[in-house]
Structure 1
Amino acid sequence: MSMIDLFAMRETFNRQQIMLCFNGPISRSLIEEIGNALRNYLAADHAHPSAAMDVFAVYIEMTQNIRHYTRDRGWSEQDASATVVVSRDDNGHYVVSSGNLIEAADGEVLVNSIEALGLLDKAQLKAAYKEQLRRPRDAEVSSGAGLGLIDIARKSSEPLKAALQPADNGKAFFSLRAVI
């Protein structure tokens, strides 16, 4: 393997205003450690307290969803890896993005759910959140695209964006982007 051009990577990260980037297997302790680093970075960046809390909450929700999904399927460490990026956009908003392998059929359902959430305004998202809270929960069934996803949509200043790219063995790479 040739040497990684860290300078070029640094320049790319700076140009795209990437504050935090992780790629690899994700455990509960790693989610916590990266979360602590994110909190410290947001404090050093003088983020407004409510924005910092929302960025942190969205990061936690996204990473825990990935961990739970892959753990429930008993996937290998390689298949259970995640890519997580926290950056700023040109308007100074925080952007939390995550991606992971997912069963292609699950991904299609998830993308459709996210697109449907994108059609809702803040009041409709609040109502959907309350409705989801009242629904009985079946412990045996994965809720996917439920309360946590609605909460991410509520915290976002723009509609969520999702993408699905085909991968091997009936899987796809699912990406989610939230702007805070």
Structure 2
Amino acid sequence: MSFDVNEYYSKLNGGDVLMAFKGNISSELISNVLEVVESRLDDYTESSKIRKRVYNVLVESLQNLYHHIEILPEDMQNEYDEKFGILVVSRVEERYKISTGNFIRHEKVDMLKNKIDKINSMSRDELKDMYKFILNHQRLSEKGGGGLGLVDIARKTGNKLIYTFEKYDHRFYFFNLDVYIDLVQ
């Protein structure tokens, strides 16, 4: 086992951090995070358009994290709650960065990688068309989503989704998603 969650989390805390969290992702936490980040965004002199975009992308990122968390690797179950995730919201240079992370079973890595790569290869118009298609033909997955989350994040930010999969053990990888919201668009 070469991947260390605590070390990884400490590396994410770069830039001007608005919020950092590592632990149980619950609906109560999501409400609290949104409140704190909204308040912290008010401290900056960003336009209401930028604040709204950051907030909306954060909502979608948190929903993705909440709905797609897997059970933890066995050796971590005593240390963390079963809905373990990482969230860091920061301002880095001329953009905001939302980093989320969670464990994912090894058999789901290729599917998720292919989905993100497909989204990243699309133009703004193609993303808009895909969003409308999913919205009109949506079937809820077993996790409660219809597949809109990542497409919506890419649409709202206008940026590529940056991701990594760090091997934890033979059954799990740690999935990290970095989303950037530019201050000037």
Q: 1:85 aligns with which of 85, 88, 93?
A: 88
Q: 1:122 aligns with which of 121, 124, 127?
A: 124
Given residue 108 of structure 1, which amino acid in structure 2 is its aligned partner? D
Residue 122 of structure 2 aligns to a residue in which SS?
coil
Residue 23 of structure 1 aligns to a residue in which SS?
strand
**Partners of 1:43 and 1:81 in 2: how far apart?**
28
CA 1:16–1:30: 2 relative to 1, 3 Å: same
**Partners of 2:129 and 2:104 in 1: how far apart?**
29
TM-score by length of 1: 0.81
**Aligned residues of 1:85 and 1:98 also touching (Cα < 8 A):** yes
Q: How many residues align?
A: 165
Residue 102 of structure 1 aligns to a residue in which SS?
strand
Q: Which sections of structure 2, spanning at least 5 residues, go unmatched?
A: 1-9
Given residue 31 of structure 1, which amino acid in structure 2 is its aligned partner? I
Matched residue, 2:167: 166
Given residue 122 of structure 1, which amino acid in structure 2 is its aligned partner? R
1:27-176 to 2 correspondences below 5 Å: 27-70=26-69, 77-90=80-93, 92-137=94-139, 139=140, 141-142=142-143, 146-168=147-169, 170-176=171-177
**Aligned residues of 1:79 and 1:101 also touching (Cα < 8 A):** no
Deviations 1:14-38 (A, max 9, x none): x622221111111100110011000
Residue 174 of structure 1 aligns to a residue in which SS?
strand
Structure number with greater CO (CA < 8 Å, separation at least 6) is 2
Over the aligned positions, Cα root-mean-square deviation in angstroms equals 2.3
Matched residue, 2:3: none
Residue 146 of structure 1 aligns to a residue in which SS?
coil
TM-score by length of 2: 0.79
